[in-house]
Structure formats: structure tokens, C-alpha cells
Structure 1
């Protein structure tokens, strides 16, 4: 879009000078003004056929002819601004089109410049100068086009490599987290099976010893039994803490946001409204929200060039918990829901919620909610022997 305004400004600046250089009265400018109007009418149509190179070439060449007829002097002089306008049209072709299509415009544009020069009564030195100008113009545009194509190719390669790097990074983090969780569960089982059982056996033996011992030692044995019981309870709490999966939930979302920002993958604007953090979510509901946000951010990094996203949580009336993830987009390709979003919708519907995906020309937005009504108590797992 920026390039369109640049070309428009250049043409708007040059054309008044070109018309003024003709030194004609208002009555004599009727044909020239009609040519200017026709030129800009076609100029405004060109962006509409940008995806059709053949029409793009046709309209550019048509503007070359219109500009030449409009500004070609009939008294044997030359209008230098006509050469500048024709140069702009040739340059616009090189900017938007392939080398082959650009060369077609170059041939017609340079031919128009040569017709302008040959139609005038210029000296041989001026004609040679214009010919040298044409040569340097074409060489410069060819070098620019080659450099631009190389840069575009390098940028595409970089984006592909960076996307692959982010995928590998995400897999590495997920595998590391999974390995850490498996290790914690293994340690918890080891503690439960060895220390927990031994402490339980110790408590039973102390109770038997207390029943058999004299009154003199019963109080001391009882204190030892209570100490062993406290140790067993602390061991059970440690086992429960190790086996608890703390990767999800709202706290997990905050960790996910911090991790992505630290790795410079994406900049996230996070906002909380209407007491979302105090919403009575169960562990399963928190985990579903965590996975939904994670999937949405993964889609942004995988399918979009956006470097920033917005996340919003709210719980209006404590009846539903609502989340929204949005990011700016530049491409206007058709949206097709993939497996990740379908799975996300199924998980939300399981808890009485729903998912909506909205794509506009400037933004991609995912919003979902979970019902908070009739929430039962969340039962923790029993990690005793």
C-alpha cells in the first residue's frame, strides 16, 4: 500500500510541471486535460489488476501511449517532463512485475522516449545524452530488480528457517517439560513406595511397641509415633506436589507468555477484566483454557508473520469465563479451520463453552468461553498408600 502512495505522489508532482511546460492557454489545453484525466483514471485502475500481470502490462503500456500523445509537442521542441513520466512508468513495471513483463514495458516506454527525441529538433549531443540516459536507466532498473528478487528470496528463506526454528524450539521445550514431569512422577513413586511404606511400617511397629512397653516409656514411644506420623504426612504432601501437573491453568499461561517473550518469538499484550483471576475454575477448566491459548499462539507463530498478539480474559457476572486472542494480519488468504482449532472447540464444548474464529482484512481473532455455573468441587487424587 505504501508503494501505491509513493507512485501517486510522484505522478501528481510531475504532471503539473509537464502541463505547465507546454505553455498553452486554458482554451488550448482541452485535449491535454482530457489526456491527464484518462491517464489517472487508468492509474487508479492498475491496483485492481495487480494479480493479473497481463492486464497490468496492458494498462501501463496504455498509459505510456496516453502520456506520449498528451505531451508530445507539435512545434519540434521536447518536453523533458514527458521523459520523466515515461521513466516512472517503466520503473513501476520493474517494481511490480517479473523481468519478462518489465522488459515489454521497457521496450514500449523506451520507444516512446526515442519517438519524442526524434520528433524534436534537438542537437546530436542531446540525442546521444538521452540515449545514454535510457541505457543507464535500464541497467539501473535491471540491477534493482535482480537485487530485489534476491532479497525477497533471502527473506522467504529466512522466514522458513525461522519458522522451523520456532517449531523445533517448541518441540524441545515440550519434550523437556514432559521429561521433567515424568521424572517428577518417577521420584514421587519412589518416595511413595520406599519412604512412605517404611514410615507406615515404623508407625505400626511403634504402636505395637507402645502397647507392649511399660507405662514409663509409653509417653516417649507416643511422641516418636507422632513424629513418624508427621514425617509420613509431609512425605505424602511432597509426593502430591511432585505428581501434580502444574503446567496448565492461568499460572501456566503467564509462564507461557513470559517464555515466548524471553525467546523474542512474539510480543504479547495481556489484559484481565471483570475478576477473571478470581473466577471459580476447576483444574480441568483451567487446563482447557491453557491449551486453547497455547494452540492460538502456536497458530500465530506458525501461520502468520505477526510479531505481536493480544490476550484478554474476563468473567462477566461469574457466569462464564471468556478469553480472546487476536493478532494483526497482512495477507488476505482464505481462512480454513484446521485440526488444532477443531480440537480446541470440542474441548470447550465439553465444558459447556464454544469457540468463534473471526478473520477480517486486518485482524485474526479467536474467542471462546466456558460456563462457570454448577461447578462442582475439584477432587484431588489420593496419594496415600
Structure 2
């Protein structure tokens, strides 16, 4: 069964290839009035494209059909040089090299460049081996072979990809995302072709050179709009327009001039299409990498926000344990020491009881300081504005001759506990830095709300930050917490210091 299927497919391919080859040879003969040049012009491009795109098991059928057709044309005296039988065989080497490298390149524009390289190699082989045996100049042979290849090989590849994707879409029962031939592409090509024909018919003979604008302009527009597909299809449309121009107005009086113009406009369209497709691919890659980076950043920010929230919860649990367990035990120790002192007349026992009571008071004081560092109790006891005023009082700014001002402009205290503690800790760290290092005479803390944001500003008229502060919560800690909650911060340079922090009012929802 596989062998029979291969034979049937080979026969069908041979039939359609023979019909297409004869039709293209007839067009080439009409253009060149030379049977040898007609073989090299369009049929050679069809032959090369099919040998590259089809499996090697079909090569024998292609070579046999073309050999039979050339032999028949020689019997009819339409081809006078027997050396033309070598032309199909010379295409084997470029096709084999191109096909061996085909699967290494998966992008359309990469394969298009590979096809152009195969066309160039085939042109050089035709010119070097067949050219010297023909009556025409070798440059004419090179130009005919290159023109046919650059026109038909990319176009056959475009049709091949379209048919292959249509087959895949039928098998998978789904629509391909970006087929090579789109309805809009065909419509635009038809419109441009119609406009070009109308201009060609209506333009005055003395202005025939203006037709070149209507030939090259569609290539630029189609390549820019549709990438390599538009460039390839506009090359074919432009070739038809150029040929009709020659027939209608005689704009091209020499075959070499016509072939040169055909190949030039085809290369222009394909080259622009490749450049646009390459640019589109780079833009798609950049967009994909940007999206991946955004996802990674979002995951990182979510993790940091969870860490900040978990840290506050752990601090809260530790503070509760310290307050409940250690506080109660210290109170019990103090009571026991008092009872020992009252129940014993021995001086040593009274002295020991006094030392125990003194040590317990020190432990109680140290524990309260530790509690304030771990979780400021004032935030559980009063609103944020009162807590900030209490915090400033702890630094004794007034006693030291420092003018402290708090501008609290929030309509209501934040409901997010993590946000509230972050604001408090940022102010605490900045006031601590000012108190120790700034030498300031005035400190201003401003807290105001904007749409979706809380803005905290802490400024002083001191010496400014001359080196990084690494102790305590630290500027690095401020930055990490602020960014974890989806905010940002800014440090203005001296004179003085001004740090502005922006935090979203719903940090868990707006963190980027």
C-alpha cells in the first residue's frame, strides 16, 4: 500500500508539474523569444522550489518529466541546444544543500533567506556550466536564471506553507494563529493590482517612467503591512504589472532590462518583508520576555508581601508571649521576693530578696523595651497620629531645642495593620537617624493621602546623609518593606535630608 500510494502521488505530481512547467515556459518564450532563455527563466524557479520543498523520493519524477519536456521541445526545434538537458541536473546540488539545512531553521524569514541562497547558487551553476554553450552572453543566462528563481521560489514556498497549514488545521480542527496567506493580504494585493493596471492604461506615454513608482510603492506598503508574505506576493504582482507595462507602452525595450527590473523589485519586496518579519519576531520575543519578567516580579513582590505580613504576625505572637508569660513570671518573682523580705529577720535574706526584686525590675524594664522594638504597643492602644506624636516625644526633641512638626492629613487611619506598622517603623527609623546623625534644628513629618496612595515625607535641615546607614532597621530595610508592599521611595540630596515614601492603600491588591 505505501508503495502504491507513492506511485499514485508521483504520477499526479508529474502531471501537474508538466502542465505548470509548460505554462511557465510559454510565458518565458513570449517574453524572451528564446527557447533556452525561457527554460532558465520561470520553469527553473518552479523546479528548484519543488525539489527543495518536496521529499527526495519525488526528485526522480521531477527530473524525468523535465527531461522529457526539454527533449520534446528539441524535437519541435523550439530548443536548439542539447546542453539544456543539464539544467535540471544542476539544480540537484543547491536543492540538496538547502534541504539538508532546512530543518535547522524554523522561522519563515530564515527559510526565505535559505531559499534565496539556493537560488543564487543555482544561478552560478547555470551560468558557469550552461552559459558558455549558449549563443547569448553569460550575464544574460545568469540574469534569466536568477530572475526566475527569485520570483517563483519564494512564491511556491508561500503556497506550500499555506497548503500545509490548511492541512494541519483540518487535522487538528483548530484555526492556525497566523497563516501565510490571509484574506486581507489577498484583498490588498488585488486592489493594488487593479490600481496599477488602471494607472498603466491611463498614463500618458511621455510619463511612462512614473510607472516605476506604482511598481515599487506596493512592494514597500505590502512588506511593511504583512511582512515577508506581503513582500513575496507583491513581488509576483509587481512582475505582472511590469510585464503588462512593457506590453502596453514599451517601457522596457530590452529583455535584460526587463529581467533586471523584475529581479530588483522582487528583491526589494522580499528584502523589506524579511526585515519587517525579523523586526516583528524581535518585538514578539521582547514582549514575551517582558511578560515573563513581569510575572516573576509579581511573584517576587507577592512573596515579599507575604514575608512582611508573616514577620508582623510572628512579632505579634512573640510580643504576646513576652507580655503574658515573662510579665507574669516577673510579677510572681517580685511578690515572692517581697514575701521573703517580710517573713525573715535575717539580714542576708533581706538583702537577697532586695537583689532579686531589683533584678526582676531590670528584667521587666528590658522586656518592655524589647516589646516596643518587636511590636510597638502604642499602635494597639491609640490611633496612628497619636502614636507618631508619642514616638516623637520619646526622642525628646523639644528638650534638645529641635522643632518637631507633624502634619497628619489622613481622613481616617489605615485599616491594613501591616501598612500601619510599616509607616510607624519607617518614621521610627528615620527619626532615630535624625536624632543620632543629622544635627538638625527642625524636623517635619508629613502624612497625606492621594488617590490610592499614602505619602509619607520626613525632612530635616541637618547635614544630610553622607554615608549609608546600616544600623537598626536601616534604609535598605525601608526600601525592602516599601517595595514589598508595592510602593516606592525617594531620597533627595542635601542640604538637609528629605525622604518620601509612597505606599498603596491596598498593598496586597496593588503590589506589582
Tell me the TM-score normalised to structure 2 length: 0.35
Which of the pair has the greater relative contact order for Cα pairs under 8 Å at 6+ separation? 1
Tell me the TM-score normalised to structure 1 length: 0.44
